[in-house]
Structure 1
Amino acid sequence: MSDEENFQQGEAGSSYTYPMQAGNIKKNGYAMLRGFPCKVTEMTTCKAGKHGHAKATIIGVDIFTGRKYEDSCPTSHNMEIPFVKKQEYQLMNIADDNYLTLLLENGETKEDLKLPENELQMVEKLRSDFECQKDILISIIQAMGQEKMISYREIVN
């Protein structure tokens, strides 16, 4: 075997998150609640009690499914925070099977993103705007190895 073998490079699951003290998590930030990447909608803390630790109660909404999750943790303990990335790509095509063709910054195309199934009103408006030959930017949120279209806007020249 040669020195230049091709190995598939995998990503460790821990690379999707980083630790942060529960007391430092803020509303509208992100946190892993019950193992799901969530946008924090409520954050409350209660004072240290008889056993010494102040507790944080965090409520958030899963960024991919919209389900609500709640978790509590001592404020001095670390919680996992997902790396969340938002990007915009130009829309090139919408296939019959609801997959999007997007133009990347480097000129290549991305064809593995599907329209969100639970946002029918946005999808219908997007299809209508696309059929009217409008130039459209698709906003995508990425976290934990997943991605989802969250919105779009028309490119105004």
Structure 2
Amino acid sequence: MNTSPQDIGSIQKSDFVVLNGRPLKVVEITHSKPGKHGHAKVHLVGIDIFTGRRYEDVRPGGHMIQVPIVGKKDYLIVNIDSDGYVTLLNEGTCNIRSDIKLNNDADVTRRLLDKYHEGDGQIKVTVLKALGEEQIMAFKMID
């Protein structure tokens, strides 16, 4: 199960929601009062957590919206190959994985590659997972 239903009225800024099948972080939410002919409306603005694309939607208040189950995990970088695939080490279990490809459009990728090519120490990355998709979202140097 990648999502769970939640009342749209309880969604707040910086919560995660699913719109158009994409996991979004809510950056703006406004509630309108009920009109003469209908429900209160909820206006959502969200940014896709993987692509950075902006989405907007208006939904009736009191309805349900899907909320993605978002996971975060830290890994150490072992290698980055020429195709952009990253070999990662899970410190806790000593498992290695090589199935995450760098997002060439992301600013974090450019900064990460610069640090990797400098070769000064270990790099720890944070991988975000939602709706079956995974991407490196942040990194830090460790001594």
Q: Please give the TM-score of this superposition, normalised by the length of structure 1.
A: 0.84
5+ residue gaps in structure 2?
A: none
Residue 74 and residue 146 in structure 1: after superposition, are their counterparts in 2 closer, same or farther (change >3 A)? same
Structure 1: distance between partners of 2:116 and 2:21 = 36
What's the secondary structure of 2:77's corresponding residue?
Answer: strand
Q: How far did residue 126 of structure 1 move?
A: 1.9
Match of 2:61 among 68, 75, 79: 75
Alignment partner of 1:95 is 2:81: yes
Looking at secondary structure, tell me which structure has more strand per residue.
Answer: 2
Residue 125 and residue 34 in structure 1: after superposition, are their counterparts in 2 closer, same or farther (change >3 A)? closer
Conserved? CA contact 2:5–2:66, under 8 Å: yes
Q: Percent identity over the alignment?
A: 37
5+ residue gaps in structure 1?
A: 1-14
Structure 1: distance between partners of 2:14 and 2:46 = 9
Partner of 2:142: 155
Structure 2: distance between partners of 1:51 and 1:29 = 29
Which structure has the greater CA radius of gyration?
1
Conserved? CA contact 1:34–1:71, under 8 Å: no
How many residue pairs match? The answer is 141
**What are the equivalent positions in structure 2 for 1:5-154 lying under 5 Å apart?**
15-104=1-90, 105-119=92-106, 121-131=107-117, 132-154=119-141
1:18-69 superposed Cα distances (whole Å, 9 cap, x missing partner)? 0111110010111111221111010000001113411101010111111111
Structure 2 residue identity aligned to 1:82: P
Structure 1: distance between partners of 2:39 and 2:28 = 20
Structure 2: distance between partners of 1:127 and 1:64 = 18
Q: Please give the TM-score of this superposition, normalised by the length of structure 2.
A: 0.92
Structure 1: distance between partners of 2:125 and 2:80 = 12
Structure 2: distance between partners of 1:76 and 1:100 = 43
Structure 2: distance between partners of 1:109 and 1:149 = 15
Q: Calculate the aligned-residue CA RMSD, in Å.
A: 1.4
